[in-house]
Amino acid sequence: MNKILGSSLMISAVLLATSCDKTQSYADMLKAEEKAIEKLMDEEDIVILKEYPADGVFKENEFYQMDNDVYINVIDSGNGNRIGTKRQNVNARFVVRFFKSDTIELDGFASSRLPVTFSYQKYSDNYYIWGYDQNDTNVDAIMSSFICEGLASGLQYVGDSSIVKLIVPFKVGPTSFQSSGEPLYYTKVRYTFEQ
């Protein structure tokens, strides 16, 4: 019970910290997000590549903008095992940072945190993601609330045991942050495939 209450309080605090004026239009949220991403890129000295590197190697500050507008930097592309057409369970640990209006960071690598687990599958040219089982007692509800298209989209380019950084626009971010227009910076994501 304390775990559920603690998780609820943490999610409420994050939502409160990232809430915005309810009269803000979608266009206004997009403009605010664009400014926040530009500011982040200036602060981090980020360079946007026009094409994904042929060898898959990125410098620390180089990012590539994917078709869904998520920016990716590949630190380690993994062990060569990639997701095919079969549904794959993926464990992810990550550090996620809110950066638009305030800087709040959650560390999924902390020893008290469980990895989040989601299922991912490729159909033709599209990828699909399924979230976690909310009835599972071994779920870190706070970190699992960050499962979204943006978090999983790095798997288009990397595989098992990979590490990436992602800048995720709110439109492909967690549902709970879409209404506030809050983009996220996953400063480190490690994907591992369940066998």
For position 153, what pLDDT does the model report?
Answer: 93
What is the pLDDT, as a whole number, of residue 169? Answer: 97
The pair of structure tokens assigned to 70 is 């998520």
Report domain extents, the chain.
Answer: 2-193
CA–CA dist 65, 159 (Å, integer): 18
Topology (CATH level 3) of domain 2-193 = Chitinase A; domain 3 (3.10.50)
Identity (one letter) of the amino acid at 10? M
Q: What is the pLDDT of residue 114?
A: 86
Q: What is the pLDDT of residue 173?
A: 95
Note whether 189 and 90 are within 8 A (CB): no
Q: Running DSSP on this structure, what letter comes out for residue 161?
A: T
Strands (E), the chain: 47-49, 62-65, 71-76, 88-98, 104-107, 116-123, 126-130, 162-168, 184-193
pLDDT confidence of residue 7: 42
User: 108: Cβ–Cβ under 8 A, 6 or more apart, which residues?
Assistant: 92, 93, 94, 95, 96, 115, 116, 140, 143
Residue 178 exposed, middle or buried by CB count within 10 Å (0-12, 13-18, 19+): middle
Question: Can you tell me the distance from the alpha carbon of 41 to that of 141, in angstroms, rounded to the nearest whole number?
Answer: 30
The pLDDT assigned to 10 comes to: 47
The pLDDT tens digits for 54-71 are 999 999 999 999 999 999
pLDDT at 140: 82
Tokens of 79: 């062990």
Closest CA relative to residue 147, chosen from 121, 181, 122, 120: 120
Residues of the chain with pLDDT under 70: 1-22, 124-125, 131-138
Q: What is the pLDDT of residue 134?
A: 56
Nearest to 167 by CA among 90, 94, 70: 70
Could you identify the residue written with the tokens 């996220």?
Answer: 184
Residue 181 C-alpha from the chain's centroid: 15
